[in-house]
Structure 1
Amino acid sequence: MPRPTPARWTAGRIPGQHGRTAVITGANTGIGFQTALALARSGASVVLAVRDPDKGKRAAAEITSGAPAAEVRVLRLDLSSLASVRGAADELRGSCPRIDLLINNAGVMYAPHGTTADGFELHFGTNHLGHFAFTGLLLDLLPASAGSRVVTLSSAGHRMGGPIDLTDLGWRSRPYDRTAAYGHSKLANLLFTYELQRRLPPGGPLAVAAHPGGADTTGSRDAMMHASALTRTAFAAVRPLLLQSPAMGALTVLRAATDPNVQGGEFYGPRGFQQSRGYPKAVRSSRQSYDASLQSRLWAISEELTGVSFPSR
């Protein structure tokens, strides 16, 4: 039976992960690295799915230096290329008889206008479509159990940018807004999670979302280089007050992935002020994210754009 969960859920609450395999995108740094480290320390076999294998190897060495018994592998995955997504999925299918945890963590933030290898707007193509395709190509490897989970990292920023326009996902008929483009990609992560949960069988696996709050990561600091001067100034002012360490930020992901009390379709974030920092709890996302019609329409568009249809369970 699941145990009552304390207000301060920490990595010490992670159940033993021996015999389980976790695949984590963007796991060479930040939230992804801290997630991989905690799962490896708990006994999981961890696959670091990263764009740069050299950085992945350095991250793997750092993990095994602190957890010598850990089994850590590096997989090349560029989510901005559907060819790379398919190649990585094929490689995993050839080496992993099953996947217990698929953690969709990687992403780009506040990037200048650009497109993926397949011509999609960079944020939407990488953060959403890449993970949508990767999940669809691997879903049948997850056992039908509540302990098996697809955890997708969204952001409090999913509320930014106003309503998402599914008729202009490439920003061709309006001025490009990198903040809105990022926010819409993170909203898409939630729409995807909620629709996926509805399509999964009652016994599992589960689809769950999480956001790390204000995590002081290399990625968030690098993203600010592309932000407006006003945004950079605001970021510098709030950084000491609202941001938390990557290890604390990763707790929301780890709880979504491992807590026996988690339910499919839940969203986990920090419990502190404006969900910017603190220990993880189930939180609510925006009203738009719960629009079932919008979820279904995005799903159909995503299948068409990626050419990936999810297996029936």
Structure 2
Amino acid sequence: MADIAALPKDWIVTSGQFTRTAYTNVYPAIDPAKADNSLKGKTVVLTGASRGLGATGIAPAFVKAGVKTIVLIARKADKLAAVEKELKGINPHVEILTLSVDISSAYQVGKAWNEINAKYPKVDILVNNAGVESTDSDKTHEQDPDIFFRNFEVNVKGTHMMTQQYLQTAISWATTADPARIINMTSSSAWGVWPFLAAYSNSKAAMIHYNTLVAASYPGTVLSIAVNPGLNDTEILPLILREAGFNFNDPMLTGATLVWLVSDSVRSQFLNGRVLTSEWDVEELVARKEEITKKNLLTMQLNATLGVEQFPN
């Protein structure tokens, strides 16, 4: 692996481009205030809402897009209260429910959804944003199994339990015209080879394929998209990446991208079961829709040619 400190400051963005144009800030097509991106009347549940992307990018973008209700989930109630205050400053009329939940606990997740479902029979959108990064060594033989699998407890098990609880109610109303919408946050480390992020990257790789399986399990009635937010100045950013001095994205870029993805399910249907990066130009993605679907791009696949067709008689 190259010395990351010697790489250009925009390397995180440029090395991962799928579209010719890449962004680090909100651009017109994904503007949450744009009529085409309206979420008026919608209810959204957001995990990992007390800090980082959830607090500074995703929640504000959804409120700016006009959601009727936003449910904020995280472990620390005091931090959730601060986020609620910020969101009320954007729109004093938005309805906010804050729930202190450890999403790695089946009991707490179930209890939270009982309360959510009692108040809001229809939750339109679930954003699985909560995550941890706790890799303790870049050498496999040195990694503490409990620390390693803490990433899976939150990033995989927690996401699965939130999704499962959501779908138990959503499948009763979801249709092809009005699908249940799920966003699963992942990372470019899922397809990169960064040993210092071994635990985190393995868990995020699992989430990309998990996302594909969820979409395939409910063809047409569930829109499930995995999103890599790029590099952001958050608390879980490893010191090695911070010290490398790479450029950060504006957290609102990710929030606005998510709004674009869930506001028009017909427009983003071609991305169902796939993964994308928030820096990619959504209009260029739409222009490549046929290519993406025909070649089954932006999914986790074995890098090989398979099938008997490759062996002519």
TM-score, L = length of structure 1: 0.71
3-state SS, counterpart of residue 193 of structure 1? helix
Aligned to 1:139: 167
The 2-side partners of 1:289 and 1:32 are apart by 33
The residue that corresponds to 1:303 in the other structure is none
Report how many aligned residue pairs link the two structures: 250
Does residue 121 (structure 1) correspond to residue 149 (structure 2)? The answer is yes
Cα distance in 2 between the residues matched to 1:235 and 1:218:
10
What is the Cα deviation at residue 39 of structure 1?
A: 1.3
1:30 matched to 2:52? The reply is yes
In our comparison, the structure showing a higher alpha carbon Rg is: 2
Cα pair 2:38 2:263 within 8 Å, conserved: no
Compute the RMSD of aligned alpha carbons.
2.8
Residue aligning to 2:198: 180
- 1:216 is aligned to 233
Paired residues of 1:102 and 1:149 also in contact (CA < 8 A)? yes
**What SS class does the counterpart of residue 108 from structure 1 fall into?**
coil
Q: CA deviation at 1:157?
A: 1.0
Could you tell me which residue of structure 1 aligns to residue 277 of structure 2?
A: 269
Q: TM-score, normalised by structure 2?
A: 0.71
Distance 1:20 1:284 in 2: 28
**Deviation string for 1:244-303 (max 9, x for gaps)?**
12112333323322244111213231346xxxxx7786572543599xxxxxxxxxxxxx
**Comparing both chains, which one has the higher relative contact order based on Cα–Cα distances under 8 Å and sequence gaps of 6 or more?**
2
Give the Cα–Cα distance (whole angstroms) in 1 for the partners of residues 72 and 116 of structure 2. 11
Moved over 6 A (4+): 278-281
Contact 2:48 2:130 in 1 (8 A): yes
1:13-28 residue pairs with structure 2 within 5 A?
13=34, 15-28=37-50
Relative to structure 1, the CA distance from residue 254 to residue 139 in structure 2 (aligned partners, 3 Å threshold; closer, same or farther) is same
Are residue 237 (structure 1) and residue 259 (structure 2) matched?
no
Q: Is the 8 A contact 1:21 1:98 kept in 2?
A: yes
Summarize deviations over 1:42-66 as a string: whole Å, max 9, x none: 2211000111111111100111022
Q: Does 1:256 align with 2:278?
A: no
Unaligned runs of 5+ in 1: 1-5, 163-176, 226-231, 273-277, 291-313
Distance 1:147 1:114 in 2: 38
1:252/1:281 contact within 8 Å kept: no
Identical-residue share of aligned pairs (%): 25
Equivalent position amino acid for 1:122 in 2? R
1:159 aligns with 2:167: no
CA distance in 2, matches of 1:280, 1:248: 15
1:197 match: 215
Question: Which runs of no fewer than 5 residues in structure 2 stay unpaired?
Answer: 1-26, 137-143, 286-296, 305-313
- Name the CA distance, whole Å, in 2 between partners of 1:256 and 1:210: 10
Asked if structure 2 preserves the Cα contact closer than 8 Å seen for 1:252 and 1:269, the reply is: no
